Structure 1
């Protein structure tokens, strides 16, 4: 027996619904669910762009990227600070070699 095409979409909607409920009722999963939803939005945006729905695909993709960045700001900012410190030391080291 052959499965219909809407079966995969229905399963995806069920899984997303369960993940959202887990995120609402258990604080442990809420951060992970937010990151997962942002990644899903990025994937759906990319899928939309590839299938000819460029405008809506780009909108969903940009919203997903912004959402993911807001969820991971606690990682991005310290990495940026470390990068700036390393860059500053390398500039100082190069200035010392010139004299």
Structure 2
């Protein structure tokens, strides 16, 4: 199958529709699929930079990173909270030797 512009456009439409449907399938699968878009943007940005299209690649990489950080903010909050609790417990249980 030779990829022409019409075929490429059809494949992009199919992929977008599939992503929308995956987003509606549930909280766990929907959240996972919502991570795929920024990861894909980061990947395409990297490929763009590697192939010499630094402006477009940099823009895709930047937006992908910003979106991914926004999606992972709740997870980052949980990790920081757990680390603070663990550090506090280690400070309380540390034996003083003086």
Please provide the CA RMSD for this pair.
Answer: 3.0
Aligned residue pair count: 94
The yes-or-no answer on 1:55 pairing with 2:48 is no
TM-score by length of 2: 0.68
Residue 92 of structure 1 and its aligned partner are, at CA, apart by: 4.7
Contact 1:35 1:68 in 2 (8 A): yes
Structure 2 equivalent of residue 17 of structure 1: 16
- Give structure 2 stretches of 5+ with no counterpart: none
Residue 67 of structure 1 and its aligned partner are, at CA, apart by: 0.8
Structure 1 equivalent of residue 37 of structure 2: 37
Farther off after superposition, 64-73 or 15-24: 15-24
1:47-93 deviations in whole A, cap 9, x for unaligned? 11111112221221121112112112221110111112223333455
Which structure shows the bigger proportion of residues in helix conformation? 1
Partners in 2 of 1:77 and 1:12 — Cα distance? 37
Partners in 1 of 2:11 and 2:72 — Cα distance? 25
Contact 1:19 1:33 in 2 (8 A): no
Does the C-alpha gap of structure 1 residues 40 and 48 become closer, same or farther in structure 2, counting only changes over 3 Å?
Answer: same
